[in-house]
Amino acid sequence: MAFTSEQLEVPVIQARTPSLGKLISTFAVLFKLRIVVLLLFAAWGGAMLASGGRPSAPAMLLLTVTGALAAGGSGALNQVLERDQDTLMRRTKRRPLATGEVQPFWAALAGVGSVALAVGLALIAGNLALAFFLALGAMIYIGVYTLWLKPRTLLNVVIGGAAGSAAVLSGSAAVGHWADPGALLLAMLLFTWSPSHFWSLALVYRKDYARASFPMLPVVMERRRAVIWTLVHMAATGAIGLLLATHESLGLLYLIPIAAATLWLARDSIRLLVVHSHEDEKHESQQAMILFKASNIYLALVLLAVCVATLI
C-alpha cells in the first residue's frame, strides 16, 4: 500500500501559551495577593501609629517591599503544604497547585525565595527588628499554623492569628518603635479579629473543612457554641477597635467612623445569633458569609482610619 507525502506528515501539537491575564490571575492566587494587601495595610497602620503619622519614605518603601515578599511567599508555601486538602474543598479546588497548573517545586522555590529575600533586605538595611518580625510572621503562618496547629486543633486560627499581629509589629519596627502602645493594641486587634473572621467563614464551609480533616471550630463543636465563640471574638475586636481611639495620634477623627463601623459589625453579629436560633442552616450560612465580609470591611476601615487620622 502506498502512502502520499501528505499522509506521512506528523501533526505538530502546539503548546498554548497562557495569556497575560491568566498569568496575572495565577500569580495573584498563588501568592494570595488579597491577603498580602490586607497585611500590608496592617503593617502601614503599625508604622503610622509608631511614627505619629510621620514615617520616612525610605522606611515605608522598605516595609512595603519586604512585607509584600514575606506575605506572598508565605501564602505560596501554605498552598504547597495544603495542595492535597485544597482539592477536597469547593473554596480552594481551583487554586493553581490543586489543579496542577503550577508544580509544587517551583511554588516552594518561589515561596522560600520570597521570604528569604524579604528578611535579607531588612538585614541589609540594618533593621534587625523588621527582619525579626518578618521572619516571625512567616514562621507562625507556615510552621505553627499550617504545619502544626491547623490539622490538629480547633485553636489553629486563635494562635495562628499572631501572624497578623507580626505584620503590624513589622510596621512599627520599620520606623524604629516596634513597642509603641498603639501598635501593640492594633496587633492585639488583629489577634482577636482572625478567629472571628475565619470561624464565620468556616460556618459556611463546615462540610469542606470536615472533608479535608481540618478541625475548625464549627466542625468539631456544636453549632450554637461555635456561633457564640465567633461572636465573643468579634465583640473583643470591636472593643479593641474603640479602645484604639485613646492613642494620642488618633482621637475623634478615628473614633467617629469606627464607632459607627463597630455598631454595624455588632448588628451583623447579632443577626447571626438570631438566625441561628431559628435553626435554619441555609440562612445561618448566608448570614455567616455576610459577617465574614463585614469583618473584612471592618478591619479595612480601622486600618484606613488609623492611617488618615495619624496623617491629619
Instruction: Give me the pLDDT at residue 206, please.
Output: 92
In this structure, of 17-31, 41-55, 154-168, 263-277, the range with the lowest mean pLDDT score is 17-31
SS3 labels along 241-273: HHHHHHCCCCCHHHHHHHHHHHHHHHHHHHHHH
The mean predicted confidence, pLDDT, of the chain is: 92
Residue 11 has pLDDT above 80, yes or no: no
| Residue pair 129/173 in contact by the 8 Å Cβ criterion | yes
Q: Is the dihedral of CA 291, 295, 296, 302 positive or negative?
A: positive
The CB density around residue 118, as the number of other CB atoms within 10 Å, is: 28
Instruction: Give me the pLDDT at residue 15, please.
Output: 45
210-249 residue pLDDT tens = 999 999 999 999 888 999 999 999 999 999 999 999 999 9
Place 60 in a pLDDT band, splitting at 50, 70 and 90. very high
In this structure, of 16-30, 64-78, 118-132, 194-208, the range with the lowest mean pLDDT score is 16-30
Q: Where are the alpha helices (H) located in 140-251, listed in sequence order?
A: 156-160, 162-174, 181-204, 206-211, 217-220, 223-243
Place 9 in a pLDDT band, splitting at 50, 70 and 90. very low
Name the nearest CA neighbour of 138 among 166, 99, 109, 159.
166
Residue 12 has pLDDT above 60, yes or no: no
| Residue pair 237/298 in contact by the 8 Å Cβ criterion | yes
| Residue pair 217/301 in contact by the 8 Å Cβ criterion | no
Q: Where are the domains of the chain?
A: 31-311
The CB density around residue 136, as the number of other CB atoms within 10 Å, is: 19
Quick one: fold of 31-311?
Tetracycline Repressor; domain 2 (1.10.357)
In order of 122, 162, 166, 257, 295, the CA distances from 238 in angstroms are 33, 18, 20, 12, 10
| Residues 195-204, mean pLDDT to the nearest whole number | 94
| Residue pair 85/126 in contact by the 8 Å Cβ criterion | no
| Residue pair 48/307 in contact by the 8 Å Cβ criterion | yes
Place 16 in a pLDDT band, splitting at 50, 70 and 90. low
- In the block, cell 496587633 appears at 187
The grid cell for 128 is: 534587625
Instruction: Give me the pLDDT at residue 223, please.
Output: 87
Place 13 in a pLDDT band, splitting at 50, 70 and 90. very low
86-119 residue pLDDT tens = 999 999 999 999 999 999 999 999 999 999 999 9
DSSP designation for 95: S
Place 17 in a pLDDT band, splitting at 50, 70 and 90. low
245-281 residue pLDDT tens = 999 999 899 999 999 999 999 999 999 999 887 777 7
Contacts with 56 (C-beta within 8 Å, 6 or more apart), sequence order: 175
Instruction: Give me the pLDDT at residue 5, please.
Output: 45
Instruction: Give me the pLDDT at residue 75, please.
Output: 97
The grid cell for 34 is: 488579597
Q: Please give the Cα distance from 130 to 304 (Å, whole number).
A: 22
Instruction: Give me the pLDDT at residue 3, please.
Output: 40
Instruction: Give me the pLDDT at residue 18, please.
Output: 67
Instruction: Give me the pLDDT at residue 61, please.
Output: 98
Q: Please give the Cα distance from 142 to 135 (Å, whole number).
A: 10
| Residue pair 190/165 in contact by the 8 Å Cβ criterion | yes
Q: Please give the Cα distance from 96 to 142 (Å, whole number).
A: 19
